[in-house]
Amino acid sequence: MSTGTAKDPKQYPVLRNLQFSPVKEGEEQYVVLWDPSGLSKEKLVLPLNYFFIIQHFDGDHSLQAIGSLYLKRFGEFLLPAKVEQLVVDLEAKLFLEGDLTEGAKEQARAAYRQAAVRPAVFAGKSYEADGALLKKQIDGFFSSKEGPDFKPSANKGKPIKGLVVPTFELKQAGPMYAWAYKELQEAQQADVLVIIGTAHAGLEQPFALTDKDFETPLGIVPVDRAIVQGLKVLVPEYFSEDVAHLSEHAIEFQLPFVQTNTGATTAMTIVPVLSSFSAMSLNDSSVRASVDRFLAALREAISVSGKTACVIAAGELAHLGMRYGDKAPPTDFSFHRSMQYDLEMLKFVEDLKPEEFAGYIQKEKDERRISGFSPIYCLLRLIQAEKGQVLRYDRGITDQYNSTVTYASMSFF
Task: Give the number of other Cβ atoms within 10 Å of residue 83's Cβ.
Answer: 20
Distance of alpha carbon 307 from alpha carbon 299, whole angstroms: 11
The amino acid occupying position 178 is A
The pLDDT value given to residue 274: 98
The amino acid occupying position 378 is C
Distance of alpha carbon 320 from alpha carbon 54, whole angstroms: 23
Under 8 Å between Cβ of 250 and 210: no
Question: What domains can be seen in the chain, in order of their start residue?
Answer: 19-106 (no CATH), 117-412 (3.40.830.10)
The amino acid occupying position 203 is L
The pTM assigned to this predicted structure is: 0.92
Q: Which residues contact 333 (CB under 8 A, 6 or more apart)?
A: none
What does residue 78 show for φ and ψ, rounded to 5 degrees? Answer: -95, 115
Give the residues of the chain that fall short of pLDDT 50.
1-3
The pLDDT value given to residue 114: 95
